[in-house]
Amino acid sequence: MRTPNFFSEVRRIQNRFHNLFDPVSEGGQVYPALNVYTDQDKITVTAEVPGLSPEDLDITVAHNLLTISGEWKEYTQDKPRRIERARGKFQRRLELPVAVDSEKVEATVKEGVLTLVLPILESEKPRKIRIEAKA
Handedness of CA 24, 27, 32, 38 (dihedral sign): positive
What pLDDT does residue 27 have?
44
What pLDDT does residue 1 have?
44
Instruction: Provide the percentage of residues in the chain whose pLDDT is more than 90.
Output: 41
What pLDDT does residue 14 have?
67
> Where does the chain show beta strands of DSSP type E?
34-38, 42-48, 57-62, 65-72, 88-95, 106-110, 113-119
Q: Tell me the average pLDDT of the chain.
A: 81
Q: Is the separation of the CB atoms in 83 and 27 below 8 Å? A: yes
What pLDDT does residue 70 have?
92
Q: Please check the confidence at residue 32 and state whether its pLDDT lies above 70.
A: yes
Q: Is the separation of the CB atoms in 125 and 63 below 8 Å? A: no
Q: Which amino acid is at 90?
A: F
Q: Is 64 left (phi over 0), alpha (psi -120 to 50) or beta?
A: alpha
Q: Which of 91, 30, 27 is nearest to 57 (CA)?
A: 91
Q: Please check the confidence at residue 12 and state whether its pLDDT lies above 50.
A: yes
pLDDT per residue over 36-92, tens digit each? 999 989 999 999 998 888 999 999 998 789 999 998 877 666 776 676 666 788 899
What pLDDT does residue 61 have?
94
Q: Which of 29, 37, 23, 33 is nearest to 114 (CA)?
A: 33
Which is higher by pLDDT, 7 or 104?
104
Q: Please check the confidence at residue 95 and state whether its pLDDT lies above 60.
A: yes
Which is higher by pLDDT, 34 or 72?
34
Complete domains list, the chain, with CATH: 6-75+84-123 (2.60.40.790)
Q: Angle at CA 58, nearest 5°, toward 57 and 63?
A: 140
